[in-house]
Structure 1
Amino acid sequence: MPKADTLTVDGHEIPLLGLGTWQLEPDEARHMVGHALTHGYRHVDTAWIYRNEKGVGEGIRDANVARDSFWLTTKIWVDHFSHDALLKQAEESAESLGTAPDLLLLHWPKATPPLAETIGALNEAKSRGLTRAIGLSNFPSAEWKKAQELSEARLITNQVEYHPYLSQKTLIDTAEALGSSITAWSPLAQGKIVEDATIRAIGEAHGKSAGQVTLRWIVQQGVIAIPKTSKESRAAENLDIFDFTLTEDEMARLHALARPDGRLGDWLDDAFEWDQDTAQR
């Protein structure tokens, strides 16, 4: 993947397009990770709760690409947020993957144990070499700011749901203010973008699919995208987004698709509240 297709955050060069593995069974994960790395992907995302870290690790070994040539992310599950449990899971994840990840995230915010304990343990995992960098997933901006205040190391991304139907303006602005980044899960709105007339029309103007237009819209904002697929053809299509550019008008038309009921995955603990964005950029 060319250098222009990466984002540098706190000295870490992260490919803007990665392969997500949510809902992939271990054998599927092994096949898709091996295929993706062999065919140009340089970013893979998984999580302990996906129950496929071992399959991801096997796919990495199957691909036989240099370890320093790709970016690997996994996540600490909420049941493992106490100091000892977090470090134990970090060790287990590295063992399952066959390598320490480049990035270790807290999967969702949790009211207990105290955030200071969890962030302290996350930093300790980094200092022990169990990950190169640390970050968050699904943290509203208020909790993100608190976490960064408590963290010695930069929290280099917040992985959240993001697609044209869900505004994340506040989180994107927070990322910029904190010297961090946003990573988009479900960037294709779980397939809902395929029949969208606006997106399809923009795609026709560029000779691209609705999915390619949507992913281009995301990465053109400097946001990382990790679409999941179990199909080799779709993986190739998703990666083929760096040979065209959307105009300012096209970007604005996609931003205008955001709506109040656009969120697809709402598993946030009742102790927290999402940022209330009424409009996109």
Structure 2
Amino acid sequence: MIDLYARLQAAITLVEKGGDIARRYFSEREQLTTTYKGLMDFASDADTTVERFVRDEIDTHFPGEAVVGEELGGELCAHAWVVDPIDGTGNFLRGSPLWGVAVAYIADTIPVIGAIRYPALDMTVAAGAGLGFFLNGVQIERKVPFPDVRIAAIGTNPMWATTQSAALEAELKRRRWSVTGYRCATIGMGFAALGHVDGYFEDYTNLWDVAAGMVLCREAGLIVDADYTTRRRGVRIAVGTEPLMRVAGPLWSKLSGECCDGHAYMSKSEANP
């Protein structure tokens, strides 16, 4: 039997130690060597150093377990650790504080542990299936003090057609939702879990970008609509409050060409083992 609490604590430690390493690189980022991976997709020495550290720590404490990471790869299986050493590398390189270090654990193909460290914001958010949602080690409930201020976040990446993301943004604005973007899925989903925005949408992203955030949002009480097991390429993710998903859902389904309910649609109760 998997000890989820022990893995949650391990994930928190991993992102906080990894975040310390990333923060040191962030303060000296002008000296970093970068690698161009694709259109608007970069990696740096910081990314690979953080991922190697996290992998070594996992191998020490959970020897032999599978690890999949953005920079060093790996084969995804039913039970695995998923690592994004620095999500939002573009923001990181330009000096924005909106980037994060993310670690998730997947059991039976479902993310059940997630932790994200925002080093430049001095903030750690974490959650485990059935264990609740934590901010800097303290369990919290999602609160929205001004619910009439309606904000949705939309992600972006080169694989997602601009026409589709623009159509979603236009529809949300037509329905009186403000729209923002962070160029970082871990920020968008973490901020949704915290109540800073009402939800987050992105298509053709990667599992390491969103696995930890899926757990956070689910444990915070948001609807999580994710397709990552049936698609040939890319992860499709939508998280949000019921009012937001009710407004965005029809168009989101139309853009995908298929019904959201047919995917890995998870509520908090459904995902708890």
- Asked if these proteins are the same fold (TM beyond 0.5), I'd say no
Which structure carries more strand by proportion?
Answer: 2
Which TM class, normalised by the smaller chain length? Answer: under 0.3
Higher relative contact order (CA 8 A, sep 6+): 1
